[in-house]
Amino acid sequence: MSFGIAFIIVAALFGLFVFTNSFKIVGQAEVMVIERLGRFHRLARSGFNILIPFIERPKSIDVRFLEADVGGQKRIASRTTSRIDLREQVLNFPSQPVITKDNVTIDIDAVLYYRVADPQKATYSIQNLPYALETLTRTTLRNIVGDIELDQTLASRDMINKRMRDVIEEAAVSWGVDVTRVELQAIEPPRDIQQSMELQMRAERERRAAVTNAEAGKRAAILEAEGQREAQVRKAEGEKEAAILRAQGMAEARLALAQAEAEAIRRVAESLPDGQAAMYLLGLKYFEALPKLSEGKGSTIFLPSEATGVLGAVGAVRELLSRTGANAGGTESTTTRRGSGPVSASTASYPSTRATLAVRSTDAQVPLSTDNPNEH
């Protein structure tokens, strides 16, 4: 009785074992590599799959992933699974020290994005795919950074990412893996290098500020000089226009004065007998010049003989004045000349001086008395 029960139990357990190993349900974006008698047979894709017990079995592969422990520290965990994830996966590993071309040790944290394109190659072409990708990434990163200097490393992340992706993808193609992206998460130089870089950056900023200030001062000086030049040009143009206007005004004034004098001369000529206008004007000029002639230190002034003709026109002046009834405001004077009779004329007013005028002729010299009555 007990033997039968034990047999039934064993048979049930065997059946359960066969059932669980014969029927497999594969999820979406997952595959299973099925081996038959130790050789690759097929791929069990998404859905319900039946395996032959003891003849077919799924192939197990190693996977690595990043997990956090209770304290929050991240660490890489490894496990074995028979299901291959076809989605894009992230391979993140701790930062590693790398020496640059100028012998500076820096810590670089890189991350790799990849996708299994051929599950058969990923299973049979490489023993541990995640570890192989991590090791290849580390060595490639050291080779690339070792050929460039620190400044170029910090400024050429895109170039480093592209070169790493090209090198890793070339090797990963034979593993059935498609490398989509390679990124550098962080580049940490040593503390002393960071301080030197900060000082250099501060000095560079101060230099740029000084250059900017100098450029601003230069621009301001140029603008000020241009403003002064423009002001001087405008001022010169204004003075030029003012001078032109003044010259035009003086020309018009002189023209008007000349026209007025011409009109006056015409009227004088109409009032005098024929041929007396010129003598009249010449006499006025002589009388206007007498005060200036008497301002000198000498007491005797010699006039040319032609002055007698001018003095002879004085009578015409008196006749003109008597006609118009105008008072010349002067005093009468008598001019004598040897060989001729007295000529009465109206003398022009001039400063209180005493001078002797003499008319020099070819045969005699007649002094002209110009005594001022105020001196007697």
The CATH number that applies at residue 87 is 3.30.479.30
| Residue 120 and residue 46 share a domain | no
Considering the domain boundaries, does residue 269 fall inside one? no
| Residue 115 and residue 14 share a domain | no
Considering the domain boundaries, does residue 196 fall inside one? no
Task: Please say which residue of 168, 189, 210 terminates a domain.
Answer: 189
Considering the domain boundaries, does residue 116 fall inside one? yes
Name the residue range of residue 345's domain.
Answer: 277-375
| Residue 134 and residue 40 share a domain | no
Helix (H, G, I), strand (E, B) or coil at 5: helix
| Residue 90 and residue 51 share a domain | no
Considering the domain boundaries, does residue 195 fall inside one? no
Considering the domain boundaries, does residue 207 fall inside one? no
pTM over 0.75: no
| pLDDT tens digit sequence for 358-370 | 433 333 344 444 4
| Residue 156 and residue 69 share a domain | yes
| Residue 183 and residue 116 share a domain | yes
Please give the pLDDT value at position 65.
66
| pLDDT tens digit sequence for 310-331 | 555 555 555 555 554 444 344 3
Sort 290 into a burial class: Cβ within 10 Å, 0-12 / 13-18 / 19+: buried
Task: Looking at mean pLDDT, say which of 80-84, 222-226, 342-346 comes out highest.
Answer: 222-226
Mean pLDDT of the residues in the chain: 76
> How many separate domains does the chain show?
3
pLDDT exceeding 70 applies to what percent of the chain?
Answer: 73
Considering the domain boundaries, does residue 153 fall inside one? yes
* Residue 190 CB contacts under 8 Å (≥ 6 apart), including other chains: 104, 105, 106
| Residue 139 and residue 42 share a domain | no
Please give the pLDDT value at position 299.
52
Considering the domain boundaries, does residue 81 fall inside one? yes
| Residue 185 and residue 72 share a domain | yes
Task: Please say which residue of 189, 223, 255 terminates a domain.
Answer: 189
| Residue 70 and residue 52 share a domain | no
Task: Please say which residue of 163, 189, 215 terminates a domain.
Answer: 189
Considering the domain boundaries, does residue 209 fall inside one? no
Name the residue among 269, 251, 273 with its Cα closest to residue 261.
269
Please give the pLDDT value at position 336.
35
Which single residue is written with the structure tokens 């051929």? 118
CA dihedral 317, 321, 323, 327 (to 10 degrees): -170
| Residue 160 and residue 86 share a domain | yes
| Residue 70 and residue 177 share a domain | yes
Which single residue is written with the structure tokens 């000082």? 199
Tokens describing residue 189: 């130089």
Q: pLDDT-derived band of residue 243, with 50, 70 and 90 as boundaries?
A: very high
| Residue 12 and residue 83 share a domain | no
Sort 192 into a burial class: Cβ within 10 Å, 0-12 / 13-18 / 19+: exposed
